[in-house]
Amino acid sequence: MDQDSHCTAERELLEAVSRITTFSTTSPSDEEQNQLKAEISCQVRKENPEKDDLQDSNAPLSPNSSMTTKELQEYWRNEKRQCRQVKLLFEIPSTRIVEHRLSKYVMYKIIVLQTGSFDSNKSVIERRYSDFEKLHRNLLEEFSEEMEDVTFPKKTLTGNFTEEVINERKLAFKDYLRLLYSMKYIRRSKKFIDFLTRLELQEAYGCLRGGDYTKALEILLEVIGLQERLMRGNPVSIVPTLCAIVVCHKDLENPASAFEYGEKALSCLRMHTSHRYYIPLLETMITLAYELGKDFLSLQEKLEEWKAKKDPIRVFTLKELAVREYVQ
C-alpha cells in the first residue's frame, strides 16, 4: 500500500470511529452498532488485504463480536496502531575485545532502532561471533531454503583480532541481521527473537531469583521495549516479561508502577484466560488495586468467574511463576 492510500485508510478509519463516538451519546440500537462494526470490518479488509505483519492466529477480538461501544472504540484504536508497521534497523557501531584467562573474543555492540524513532526507542545488546554462528546454525535447521543464499562470515585461523577483520565482520553482521529481518518467517521465529533477547532475559531472571530486583528490573525494562517491537503480532508472548516487571516493582515497593505493567499484561491476556499467568496476575492485581485505592471489584469478579468455570487446581503465585522462567 502506498503512503497516500495508507493515509486515506487511516482517515476513513478515524471517521468511522468518530461516528461510533457520536452514536455512543445517543444510545444506539444493537442493529446500528452491528452495522457500524460490519462497515469498519469491511473497510479494513479492503484497505489492508495483507495482514501478515499485523497479527497472528492469536489475534484480538473480532469487531463483529459482542463488544460494548467503549470496547469497540478501544479495539479500533489498537487496530489503527497496528496498521503502522514497525520496522527495525540494525547498527553495529563498535566492538570490544574481552580477555579471560583461557579465552579471548570480540563483543559486537548491536543497536536495534525503530524506523522514524528517536534515540529513546533504541535497544542495545552485545553478541560475540559464536552467538551469531549458533543463530546461523539453528536457522539453517528450520529455514534451509530461505537461508540458501545467506552468507555468513567464516572463521579465520589467524587475524581474528585485527582491526581490518573486526571492521569487516561489523559490516557483515549488520547486513546479515538486516537480511534475516527482511524475511517474514525468520524475523518471527523464536530462534531469531531468542538471539536478540535470551541472554539478557537469562541475566535478568538470574538477578530476580537472587533477590537483586533493582538490577533485574533495569534489564527487563530494556528487553521489554525490544520484545514489544519484535512480537507485535503475538502480544501474549511478552506476558512473562511484563509479569516479571510487576514482581520487581512490587518487591521494590513501587505498587503504582507494578499496577501499570500488570494492566498491560492483563490486556495481552484478555482473550487467553487459560494462560498460566492469568490467575496469578489477577490475584496480584487485586492486591495492588486494594493497596492503591483503585477499583478491585471488577478484577475480583473476573477471578470468581474463572474459578466458577474451572476445576479447582493449585495455582502458583506470580512470583513463583517468574522465578521458574529461564531456569537452566
Cα 261 from Cα 327, distance rounded (Å): 23
pLDDT in tens, 156-166: 777 788 999 99
Residues 210 and 273 in one domain: yes
Residues 315 and 208 in one domain: yes
Q: How confident is the model at residue 77 (pLDDT cuts 50, 70, 90)?
A: low
Examine residue 207 and state whether it is found in any structural domain, yes or no. yes
Q: How confident is the model at residue 90 (pLDDT cuts 50, 70, 90)?
A: very high
- Which CATH number goes with the domain that contains 320? 1.25.40.10
Examine residue 251 and state whether it is found in any structural domain, yes or no. yes
Give the number of residues written for the chain: 328
Per mean pLDDT, which range of 8-12, 140-144, 225-229, 252-256 is the poorest?
8-12
Cα 133 from Cα 127, distance rounded (Å): 10
Structural contact between residues 184 and 53, judged by C-beta atoms closer than 8 angstroms: yes
pLDDT in tens, 122-132: 899 999 999 99
pLDDT at 261 (0 to 100) = 98
- Which CATH number goes with the domain that contains 126? 3.30.1520.10
Cα 60 from Cα 209, distance rounded (Å): 33
pLDDT: which is higher, 316 or 11: 316
252 contacts: CB under 8 Å, gap ≥ 6: 213, 214, 217
Q: What is the mean pLDDT of the chain?
A: 80
pLDDT at 299 (0 to 100) = 93
Examine residue 14 and state whether it is found in any structural domain, yes or no. no
Instruction: Among 188, 208, 242, give the residue marking a domain's end.
Output: 188
Residues 139 and 246 in one domain: no
Instruction: Among 161, 188, 215, give the residue marking a domain's end.
Output: 188
Give the strand pairing for 123-128 and 88-99: unpaired
Instruction: Among 128, 155, 188, give the residue marking a domain's end.
Output: 188
pLDDT at 44 (0 to 100) = 41
Residues 206 and 318 in one domain: yes
Give the strand pairing for 123-128 and 104-114: antiparallel
Examine residue 19 and state whether it is found in any structural domain, yes or no. no
Q: Quick check: 167 pLDDT over 50?
A: yes
Residues 208 and 312 in one domain: yes
Residue 230's CB is within 10 A of a number of other CB atoms, namely 22
Residues 108 and 170 in one domain: yes
Residues 168 and 232 in one domain: no
Residues 236 and 312 in one domain: yes
pLDDT at 312 (0 to 100) = 61
Q: Quick check: 47 pLDDT over 60?
A: no
Q: How confident is the model at residue 222 (pLDDT cuts 50, 70, 90)?
A: very high
pLDDT at 55 (0 to 100) = 40
Q: Quick check: 141 pLDDT over 50?
A: yes
Residues 210 and 165 in one domain: no
Examine residue 221 and state whether it is found in any structural domain, yes or no. yes
pTM, entire model: 0.72
Q: Quick check: 108 pLDDT over 60?
A: yes
Examine residue 68 and state whether it is found in any structural domain, yes or no. no
Examine residue 41 and state whether it is found in any structural domain, yes or no. no
224 is written with which cell numbers? 521489554
Core vs surface per residue 29-60: b (16+ CB within 10 A) or e? eeeebeebbeebbeebeebbeeeeebebeeeb
Residues 317 and 203 in one domain: yes
Residues 284 and 312 in one domain: yes
pLDDT at 30 (0 to 100) = 47
pLDDT at 13 (0 to 100) = 43
The count of domains in the chain is 2
Cα 275 from Cα 273, distance rounded (Å): 5
Examine residue 119 and state whether it is found in any structural domain, yes or no. yes
Q: Quick check: 49 pLDDT over 80?
A: no
Residues 104 and 181 in one domain: yes
Could you tell me the residue range of the domain that residue 301 belongs to?
Answer: 198-324
